[in-house]
């Protein structure tokens, strides 16, 4: 019997003891979140109803930055060894601060958004600033980095919903301290997909997000 | 800067929102606390409800999230999901509750007496089972089907492949990935 077989047996042993009670879930009282928020002095979400909170999280001017910097997704072709290597990189990395600026132009009015994000899973020591300018009318996203980000693995640009329910890849880019322009996919509302994310993507043919983000910022109107 | 060929966009369920919430919580974002509450509040409250009354379960759930938030630096996403970390705190809070009310409650005697730890043992066991339920439900549909056949019907990889028509290699890889996710879901990433 292999170790994997043995592990399956152990999990199966636990799974077979699951009862209907174990599957039952109770919803907490409706006021419980507001009690928690009050206790921590959360003035951004305390007392708001769910719709208001949803609005808060999808990129309004006063929205809190959703820091997703250590995000990990389960990649279809990534094995345990690969995951452990990533985790080692996370553990070894120092917390660094980046700034992403996002300028939204076009539409009824021109609005400028700036966001700041911190990250703790920087795979390579790199301090820099990236400015992303979205020109909605031209359907283009322009990235300008203050200095080069050197990596043996590709870097991918993403737009993510703050509630984490959806994301779009804008393709692979190179940060070499100069400017590049990326096409904004048709139908993407940047006020909805308001988190800008740059991630390191292993060249393994897996198209989903690696979780190895090194720069991320949310929108904040100037 | 050069734009390289864009990959296919895949918005499948491989995008694991729970992992993103876990990492965001560890990073200390206020919005992540609410997201974590939305994600795990029902699990924590349900675990408490199995041991204590509604009002106490609500109080303990509140204490769990407050304690977790205030000590979030102790949470390490690489060691497992936020779920087992929160439920571990809940376990301790429930035991504290037992002790606080124990003078009038026989359960506390069992808690204090190492030879008869039935309430705590049951709390631990039911918590593991409830975490496993959630971890299995979080699996993609095909993987959940495969892992259920392996767990509940004791089927081998070959038997699952024959039964479902899913290629053997896919069955093996789905099981391997599922076990990874279950370990993470129950906080067993580091043994």
Q: Given an 8 Å threshold on Cβ–Cβ distance, is A143 in contact with B1?
A: yes
- Asked whether this complex has an ipTM greater than 0.95, the answer is no
Give B-chain residues touching A52 at CB under 8 angstroms: none
Would you state the structure tokens that stand for residue B130, as one six-digit string? 């409830």
Mean pLDDT confidence for A20-49 = 79
Residues B87, B43 contacting (CB under 8 angstroms)? yes
Is residue A184 over pLDDT 90? no
Distance between CA A86 and CA A201 in Å, rounded?
A: 11
Mean pLDDT confidence for A190-219 = 74
Return the higher-pLDDT residue of A20 and A123.
A20
Mean pLDDT confidence for A137-145 = 71
Is residue A115 over pLDDT 70? no
Report pLDDT for A135. 65
What are the tens digits of pLDDT across the range B75-102? Answer: 888 888 999 999 999 998 888 887 777 6
Report pLDDT for A213. 73
A197 phi and psi angles, rounded to 5 deg: -140, 140
Mean pLDDT confidence for A119-124 = 46
Name the percent of chain A lying above pLDDT 70.
51
Return the higher-pLDDT residue of A220 and B147.
B147
- Domain boundary assignment for chain B: 17-138, 140-191
Which is nearest to A62 in space by CA: A44, A46, A50?
A44
Report pLDDT for A78. 27
Is the domain B140-191 a CATH 1.10.10 member? yes
Is residue A220 over pLDDT 70? no
Put simply, the chain A residues between 92 and 151 with a CB less than 8 A from any chain B CB are 118, 120, 143, 145
Question: What average pLDDT does the structure give for chain A?
Answer: 62
Return the higher-pLDDT residue of A207 and A173.
A173
Q: pLDDT-based confidence at A129, cuts 50/70/90?
A: low
Report pLDDT for A219. 56
The parts of chain B modelled with pLDDT lower than 50 are 1-15, 103-117, 191
B101 touches chain A (CB under 8 A): no
Residues contacting residue B85 through CB under 8 Å, at least 6 positions apart: B68, B75, B187
Report pLDDT for B46. 96
Return the higher-pLDDT residue of A205 and B129.
B129
* Nearest CB neighbour to B24, from listed A68, A90, A174: A68
A3 touches chain B (CB under 8 A): no
Is residue A16 over pLDDT 90? yes
Distance between CA A186 and CA B174 in Å, rounded?
A: 34
Return the higher-pLDDT residue of B105 and A159.
A159
Report pLDDT for A68. 29
* Nearest CB neighbour to A208, from listed B10, B45, B132: B10
Is residue A41 over pLDDT 70? yes
Return the higher-pLDDT residue of A1 and B190.
A1
Mean pLDDT confidence for A148-162 = 78
Is residue A60 over pLDDT 60? no
Distance between CA A116 and CA A219 in Å, rounded?
A: 9
Q: Given an 8 Å threshold on Cβ–Cβ distance, is B151 in contact with A12?
A: yes
Return the higher-pLDDT residue of A202 and A81.
A202
Q: pLDDT-based confidence at A175, cuts 50/70/90?
A: confident
Distance between CA B117 and CA A73 in Å, rounded?
A: 39
Architecture of domain B17-138: Orthogonal Bundle (1.10)
Residues A99, A78 contacting (CB under 8 angstroms)? no
Is residue A89 over pLDDT 60? no
Report pLDDT for A36. 93
Give B-chain residues touching A32 at CB under 8 angstroms: 41, 45, 58, 61-62
Q: pLDDT-based confidence at A107, cuts 50/70/90?
A: very low
- Domain boundary assignment for chain A: 3-55, 67-218
A190 phi and psi angles, rounded to 5 deg: -70, -15
CB–CB contacts below 8 A, A to B: 210
CA distance A108 to chain B (A): 29
Scored b (16 or more CB within 10 A) or e, A163-184 reads bbeebbbbbbbbbeeeebebeb
Is residue A113 over pLDDT 70? no
């Amino acid at each position: 019997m292999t170790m994997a077989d043995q592990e399956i047996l152990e999990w199966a042993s636990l799974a077979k003891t699951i009862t209907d009670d174990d599957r039952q879930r109770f919803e907490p009282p409706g006021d419980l979140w507001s009690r928690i928020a009050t206790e921590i002095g959360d003035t951004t979400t305390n007392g708001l109803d769910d719709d208001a909170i949803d609005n808060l999280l999808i990129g309004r001017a006063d929205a809190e930055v959703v820091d997703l910097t250590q995000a990990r997704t389960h990649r279809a072709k990534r094995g345990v060894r690969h995951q452990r290597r990533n985790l080692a990189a996370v553990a070894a990395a120092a917390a660094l601060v980046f700034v992403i600026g996002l300028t939204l132009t076009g539409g009824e009015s021109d609005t400028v958004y700036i966001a700041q994000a911190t990250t703790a899973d920087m795979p390579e020591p790199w301090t820099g600033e990236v400015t992303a300018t979205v020109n909605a009318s031209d359907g283009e996203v322009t990235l300008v980095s203050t200095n080069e980000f050197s990596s043996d693995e590709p870097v991918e640009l993403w737009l993510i919903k703050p509630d984490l329910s959806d994301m779009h890849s804008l393709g692979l880019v190179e940060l070499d301290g100069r400017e590049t322009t990326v096409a904004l996919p048709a139908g993407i509302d940047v006020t909805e997909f308001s988190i800008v994310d740059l991630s390191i993507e292993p060249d393994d043919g897996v198209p989903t997000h690696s979780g190895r983000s090194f720069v991320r910022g949310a929108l904040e109107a100037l | 800067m050069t734009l390289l060929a864009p990959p296919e966009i895949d918005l499948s369920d491989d995008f694991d929102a729970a992992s993103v919430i876990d990492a965001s919580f560890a990073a200390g974002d206020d919005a992540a606390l609410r997201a974590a509450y939305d994600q795990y509040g029902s699990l924590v409250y349900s675990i408490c409800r199995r041991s204590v009354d509604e009002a106490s379960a609500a109080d303990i759930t509140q204490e769990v999230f407050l304690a977790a938030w205030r000590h979030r630096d102790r949470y390490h996403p690489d060691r497992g999901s936020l779920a087992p970390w929160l439920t571990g705190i809940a376990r301790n809070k429930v035991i504290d509750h037992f002790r606080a009310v124990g003078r009038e409650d026989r359960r506390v005697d069992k808690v204090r007496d190492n030879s008869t730890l039935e309430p705590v043992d049951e709390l631990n066991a039911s918590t593991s089972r409830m975490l496993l339920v959630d971890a299995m439900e979080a699996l993609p549909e095909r993987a959940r089907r495969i892992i259920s056949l392996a767990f509940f019907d004791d089927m081998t990889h070959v038997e699952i492949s024959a039964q479902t028509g899913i290629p053997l290699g896919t069955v093996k890889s789905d099981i391997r990935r599922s076990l990874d996710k279950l370990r993470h879901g129950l906080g067993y990433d580091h043994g």
